Amino acid sequence: MDNFVFHLIRSLSTTKDLRLIAQFDDGTIKTYDVEELSRRNSVFNEFKSNPELFAKAKVDAGGYGVVWNESLDLSSDEVWANGITVDNSFNGLLAFSDASRIWNLNESTLRKALVYGKIKAGIDCCKYGKQWVITEEAMVREYGRPKNRFSGKDDFSWDNMCAAEKEPEYDAKKKQ
C-alpha cells in the first residue's frame, strides 16, 4: 500500500458522444468512454436516454471520482485505468503547489532547489505570471517517483529533501 498513489481528478468536462475529459492532479488529461462502460454496467445506460444528466457530471469532493447524482458515480481510478491519455504539450507540467503536494514536499523545497541550481529555470521549470510550473521529468529526477501522500509521513523527511538541502552550505544559510 505504501507505493499506491491516488489519481485525483482536478477538472472535468463532457462531450455529446458520452465521453469524459478529465484532467488529473499530475497534469495528465484522459478521455473516458462512458458509452463503453454502459456495455459493462447497465446502470450507465441512463445517459443514452438522458444526455442532459450526463452533461451534469462533476468532480466529487476531493477529486476521487465523478458524480452525476446520488445513485450515479464513477471512481477516478476507473477513469485513470481505462481512459485514453490525450497527447498534448501540457502533459507532465505541474504547478509548484501541485508538485509539492504530489511528492509530499513543502513548496519552499522547490524554490530552494531552483535557487541552488538543482532545478534549472527555462529547462526544468518556468514562471508564468506569479505561477511556477515544473516538468514531471525534473521532479522524478530530483525526488524519485512520488510516495504515498496519504501515508502520514513527515513532509520534511531526509528522503524527500532535494540534493541542495542536503548540502552543508544549505544548513549554514538556513541558520542565518
Mean pLDDT of 21-42: 91
Torsion on CA atoms 98, 54, 21, 73, rounded to nearest 10: 50
* Amino acid 159: pLDDT: 40
Is 18 in contact with 66 (CB distance < 8 Å)? no
* Amino acid 91: pLDDT: 77
Q: Of 19-23, 38-42, 78-82, 170-174, give the lowest mean pLDDT range.
A: 170-174
33: DSSP letter: E
For residue 82, give every residue at least 6 positions away whose Cβ sits within 8 Å of its Cβ, in sequence order, or none: 32, 37
Q: How many CB atoms lie within 10 A of CB 91?
A: 14
Q: What is the pLDDT of residues 111-134, one digit of tens each?
A: 999 999 999 998 999 998 999 999
* Amino acid 54: pLDDT: 95
Is 118 in contact with 164 (CB distance < 8 Å)? yes
Q: What is the pLDDT of residues 143-174, one digit of tens each?
A: 998 865 444 443 333 343 344 433 444 444 44
Q: Distance from first CA to last CA of the chain, Å, rounded?
A: 40
pTM across the whole model:
0.63
**Amino acid identity of 51?**
P
Q: Of 5-19, 49-63, 73-87, 142-156, give the lowest mean pLDDT range.
A: 142-156
